[in-house]
Amino acid sequence: MHIILKSHVEELANDFEYTESPVSKQFEYFCNYCVVSKHYFGRFNPTVVTTDEDDASLDGIAVIVDGDLITNADDAKEAFSTHKTNLQVDVIFTQVKSGEAFKKDEIANFKLGLDDFLSLAPKLPNGKFNTETIQVIKVVLANLKKVRNRRPSCHVYYCTSGVYVSAREVQAALEIIEKGLLETEFFHTVQVKPLGRSEIIKFYADLSEKNEAKLPLLEFFGMPKMPGIPQSYVAIVKASDFVSALLEDTDGNLRESVFEENVRSFLGSANDVNAAIQLTLQSSDKRSLFSVLNNGITVVAPELTLTPNTKEIHLTNYQIINGCQTSSTLQANKLLLTDSVNVVVKFIESPENEASSDIIAATNSQSDIPKEAFFGLRGKAKLVQKYFIAQNAAVSPENHVHFERRQSEYKHSGYQSTRIFDVREVARCYAAMFLDVPHNSARYVAKIFSASGDHLFREDDHESYYYAACLALYKYQTLINGKKIGAPDYTKARWHIIQMFKWLCHGTTDVPAPNSKKAEAYARGLIEGLNADAKGYVKIFERCQRIIDAVGMPTDDELKRARFAQDLLAETKRQLAKK
């Protein structure tokens, strides 16, 4: 394997703590992480999109529904239980070869695996991962009336560690795959891409690169300096310049990563507002009025430089926090953007996170945006993040965990991915451990906010509970990744494990309320136990596993029901009473 590619593969293996896996499997994880990250912008572990060894001819599968990575049929059903009728759905397949050659026979075998899998009743050996993913795809196909274009988009990648040269027979084999997938009539569009090491290295580099842009302005005026905002401007820019400089990557595709902090994704061209924008651009009479007919776009950046004499602005790590619909529609209709089409853009330099959060909340107050998008902007969430920072400063780096309150906030931090918890994961940890609803945490990730939202990030909650819950999950997840104490066998019950951990750690099922004066001392006992050099917490996690054994490992359905949690509580009480 090429030395640069090898170093990247090892870096990701360290980041996600699977260094004990064979090199060929590490390469699968690496390639799957790179290609899925082109379509999904949240945090995920590459192991959840990588097939098992017994999944014939397919090395990675991912299904993304409305911006969420879906890994089981129940979550798929939850994702479609919405009033929305224009959900973007992407299905990704990979085949990964650690060798350097692109071989026609191996590509043909990949096609065989795809055809068999998409029969939805495969004859080839298929393990649990593939079997579950087939159920996910069946849910998608049963809900096509809610899918954008009435069918999902399909992306297929054939990856090797070599150099791709477009040989005739190899290209023909790839085209046969594309033709076969289109003939299933499952997909609106199909893309089949061969990736050699140069392409894979570039994909990986794109994940950590800063996004920078220079944009010429037609006119601008500066706004007064404000707290947390050193400079800000309102400008008129050519729409074509805005699209090419800020919205498109080097291949001319929409750079979706610049919308990571926009709480609402693109709603599609069929949406009433976006259809109206498109009609304006198509009208030779109205397109020159675009800048007065449209509400404009808001761009926030921690670094911003404006050169007045050239009327040019330079942005670093910018995000479009308002105007995703306008921006996406402009890019989709870029051929209509004549020099007469201008757009109003507000540029705000905001190096301070709190100021950025306030701007995001103020500019995205539409009623149809899911309320979970704003949980990270709550005042309590800000205090919880500060508690994480303060607690990390007091312990050794091996015990650090980080609360990523705003999406991709720690993208360039160098923190190990397994130590970073976004708003959803923090909420799930807290709900499982201290609200005693691990069955809700085990459900579709977004459901935690509808099921427990009124009890999350409340002003009188003690911040230490959120930290202790995340630390507990991190410590147990480390045992899972390291294949210690049989923990991998209990992965799906991890939310119930951390619920029981607090009871066994303190020797009682009585727990102070989150707003109690005793909460901090209670959490301190958990934190100190989890950070102890002697690692006595490992024995406690083993006891948690034995309690599950005593009750019986639940089915996937039972895992998401309160009854299993109640049975674990009863068994824990019984065992504590024997002491």
Residue type, 462: H
At residue 230, the 3 state secondary structure works out as coil
Q: CB-based contacts of 418: which residues, under 8 Å, 6+ apart?
A: 15, 16, 17, 45, 474, 477, 478, 481
CA-CA distance, 316 to 327, in Å (whole number)? 18
CA-CA distance, 60 to 95, in Å (whole number)? 7
Q: CB-based contacts of 57: which residues, under 8 Å, 6+ apart?
A: 95, 109, 110, 112, 113, 114, 116, 124
Position 319 scores a pLDDT of: 87
CA-CA distance, 228 to 163, in Å (whole number)? 48
Q: How many residues does the chain have?
A: 579
- Segment holding 374, helix H or strand E: none
CA-CA distance, 178 to 439, in Å (whole number)? 41
Residues 264-320: tens digit of each pLDDT = 566 677 777 788 899 999 998 899 999 999 989 999 988 899 999 999 999 988 988
| pLDDT < 50 stretches in the chain | 366-369
Phi and psi, residue 294, nearest 5°: -100, 145
Domain borders along the chain are 3-208, 212-363, 371-578
Q: Which residue has the tokens 């190096």?
A: 351
Q: How far are the Cα atoms of 87, 147, 368 from residue 83, in angstroms, in the given order?
A: 10, 12, 10
Task: Show the tokens assigned to 11.
Answer: 């870096």
Cα angle value 398/467/528 (rounded, 5°): 60
Residues 401-431: tens digit of each pLDDT = 999 887 777 877 789 999 999 889 999 999 9
Phi and psi, residue 429, nearest 5°: -60, -50
Q: CB-based contacts of 161: which residues, under 8 Å, 6+ apart?
A: 1, 2, 5, 27, 97, 98, 99, 100, 196, 197, 200
Task: Show the tokens assigned to 307.
Answer: 């050169």
Position 374 scores a pLDDT of: 59
Pick the closest to residue 356 from 253, 263, 471, 223 (CA basis): 263
Phi and psi, residue 195, nearest 5°: -125, 120
Position 23 scores a pLDDT of: 94
Spatial strand order in the sheet of 231-238:
219-222, 231-238, 342-349, 297-301, 319-322
Tally Cβ neighbours within 10 Å of residue 327: 26
Q: CB-based contacts of 509: which residues, under 8 Å, 6+ apart?
A: 503, 569, 572, 573, 576
At residue 342, the 3 state secondary structure works out as strand
Position 368 scores a pLDDT of: 46
- Segment holding 393, helix H or strand E: helix 379-393
Q: How far are the Cα atoms of 548, 572, 574 from residue 578, in angstroms, in the given order?
A: 17, 10, 7
Q: CB-based contacts of 192: which residues, under 8 Å, 6+ apart?
A: 156, 157, 158, 174, 175, 177, 178, 181
List, as one string, the DSSP characters of 410-446: TTTS---GGGEEEHHHHHHHHHHHHS--HHHHTS-TT
Strands 89-97 and 153-160 come out as parallel
